[in-house]
Amino acid sequence: MTRLMSGVFAAVALTVGAYALTGYNSQTRLPELPLVGAASAQEAEVDTSTITEMVIGAEDAPVTLIEYASYTCPHCANFHTGVLPQLKEDYIDTGKVKLIYREVYFDRYGLWASLIARCGGPEKFFGISNLIYKGQSDWTRAGGTSEITDALRKIGAVAGLEKETLEACLQDGAKAQTLVAWYQENAKEDDIESTPSFILNGTKIGNQSYPKFKELIDAELEG
């Protein structure tokens, strides 16, 4: 159970463009949103246990890699379109690495993208996420609020989601609020300050090239 400060949810859900798409070196810094509520703020308890962890790879894989990423982070898109396919082929599909994906929210568009990605359940999550990241430069620049939501709807439709299902997911305010609380809880626990960030068998690391990921993973496998 996480206490969610109502002001934080409003900031994430309603603020447009909480960061620039120009990025920050090889990572994007999290916006200045508090992770815990101030004593004077109105708080509500949110049960984050209802959020499903999105996982690919063998459950008993010797290496666990947790990824913290935002759908509106360009460096996260670079990881998903460049590095992740190689990691999947060499380590995830071979039973050596289990990947846990956890969303970070910079702005309402990233939150909406998360609602779309999760709309098809765990079976479709990574496929939809891949479409979202591949099309990031298009849908994030589609125009205003209605144009961006329409672009996200189209991605969901390409993934095979029905119109009624997509609308129900986008309108699920309780789910959105719970996702924000879940993000706060995870980011605080793992001291996440930028995206993409990773936890490799319990050790926090920053964004890496594929050769560096390979070196770090191989060291864990040999150890």
Segment 108-116 mean pLDDT: 95
- For residue 58, what are the domain limits? 2-222
Query: Residue 45: is its pLDDT beyond 60?
Result: yes
CATH of the domain at 175: 3.40.30.10
pTM of this structure = 0.84
Would you list the DSSP string of 86-134?
HHIIIIITTTSEEEEEEE--SSHHHHHHHHHHGGG-HHHHHHHHHHHHH
Tell me what the mean pLDDT of segment 114-134 comes to: 97
| pLDDT, greater one: 36 or 176 | 176
At residue 11 the predicted structure's pLDDT band, cuts being 50, 70 and 90, is: very low
The predicted model gives 5-18 an average pLDDT of 40
Rg (CA), the chain: 17
Mean pLDDT (whole number) for 102-116: 95
What the block records as the tokens of 43 is 């708080």
Which three-class secondary structure state does DSSP give residue 173? helix
The structure tokens listed for 9 are 């949810």
Q: pLDDT tens-digit profile of 157-168? A: 999 999 999 999
How many domains does the chain fold into?
Answer: 1
**For the residues 11-15, what does the mean pLDDT come to?**
41
Confidence of residue 27 (pLDDT cuts 50, 70, 90): low
